[in-house]
């Protein structure tokens, strides 16, 4: 008599003891998308962009605080670039132009009103403590930022908030209200508007254009660091090498070792047909 194949079902009576399990009880299979090295490097470019945004904020802070950058020029250039980016991506936005104008006016009035408060906010705090707090907040933003992957650690709201809080810490060490207003405006553009523009470019442009844009961003950020914060140049070089070379190569070498074990303890899911 041929022994029927054991099936992992509860609704069907089978000629096996209650404690019997077949070979298919443990389903072991690899559940990971195989990526090539070029795909891993391309995916790391999103982290590179956000890293350059954080460094750009620090560079502008050093340039303005040391008098090497004119706040009015930086503010004008930021406004022009922000408006151009909005005009390019406005077709992809769910809000109307009138609502966006209201939000922009609200931000301008809010930042203008709180600039005198921010300027004296951390007067009693040591500069070393402010620098350490800003560094940790920017690192936290890099960890929590949405790079286009659905993982549990991603939190766009918290990432945006800690980025602005880091900007407040830096702006509190500036001397004039205009400097504070300029740095906070740059922070809003870098941490609120620029990620939307980058997602539009990654989805609307080809891979070659995104690689070219990444190269331009790295070049511009590197020039700014070399001119206004040269002590951060080794740190930037190390971060770029780790982000764009070491970590993608390590991921490619380790992805073959990833496997998940599935069994009756798994959460029930409705499979698409």
Q: Could you say which residues of the chain have pLDDT below 50?
A: 30, 273
**Tokens found for residue 50:** 């956000």
In a domain, 158, yes or no: yes
In a domain, 222, yes or no: yes
List, for residues 167-188, the tens digit of each pLDDT value.
Answer: 999 998 888 889 999 999 999 8
**Tokens found for residue 37:** 């090295």
Q: How far apart are CA 120 and CA 177, in angstroms?
A: 10
Cβ-based burial of 151 (10 A; exposed 0-12, middle 13-18, buried ≥19)? exposed
In a domain, 22, yes or no: no
Q: Does this model's pTM top 0.85?
A: no
Domain range for 223: 43-254
In a domain, 11, yes or no: no
In a domain, 29, yes or no: no
Which alpha helices (H) appear in the chain, and where do they start and end?
A: 37-65, 71-89, 97-119, 127-144, 156-171, 177-188, 194-204, 207-228, 233-241, 247-254
In a domain, 163, yes or no: yes
State the total domains in the chain.
Answer: 1
In a domain, 1, yes or no: no
In a domain, 147, yes or no: yes
> In Å, how far from its chain's centre is CA 53?
9
List, for residues 77-132, the tens digit of each pLDDT value.
Answer: 988 888 888 787 776 666 777 777 888 888 888 888 888 888 888 878 888 899 89
């Amino acid at each position: 008599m041929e022994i029927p194949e054991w099936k992992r079902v509860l609704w069907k009576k089978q000629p096996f003891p209650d404690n019997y399990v077949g070979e298919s009880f443990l389903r072991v299979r690899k559940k990971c998308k195989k990526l090539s090295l070029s795909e891993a490097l391309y995916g790391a470019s999103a982290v590179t962009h956000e890293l350059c945004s954080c460094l750009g904020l620090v560079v502008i802070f050093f340039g303005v605080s040391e008098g090497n950058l004119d706040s009015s020029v930086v503010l004008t250039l930021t406004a022009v670039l922000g408006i151009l980016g909005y005009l390019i991506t406005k077709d992809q936005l769910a809000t109307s132009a009138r609502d966006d104008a209201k939000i922009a006016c609200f931000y301008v009035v809010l930042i203008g009103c709180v600039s005198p408060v921010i300027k004296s906010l951390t007067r009693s705090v040591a500069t070393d403590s402010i620098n350490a707090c800003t560094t940790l907040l920017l690192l936290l933003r890099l960890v929590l930022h949405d790079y286009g992957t659905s993982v549990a650690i991603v939190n766009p709201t918290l990432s945006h908030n800690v980025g602005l809080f880091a900007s407040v810490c830096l702006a509190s060490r500036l001397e004039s209200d205009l400097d504070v207003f300029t740095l906070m405006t740059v922070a809003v553009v870098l941490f609120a508007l620029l990620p939307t523009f980058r997602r539009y470019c990654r989805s609307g442009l080809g891979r070659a254009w995104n690689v070219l844009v990444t190269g331009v961003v790295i070049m511009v950020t590197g020039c700014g660091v070399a001119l206004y914060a040269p002590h951060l140049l080794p740190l930037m070089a190390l971060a770029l090498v780790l982000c764009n070379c070491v970590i993608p190569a390590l991921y490619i070498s380790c992805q073959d070792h990833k496997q998940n074990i599935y069994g009756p303890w798994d959460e029930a899911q409705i499979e698409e047909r």
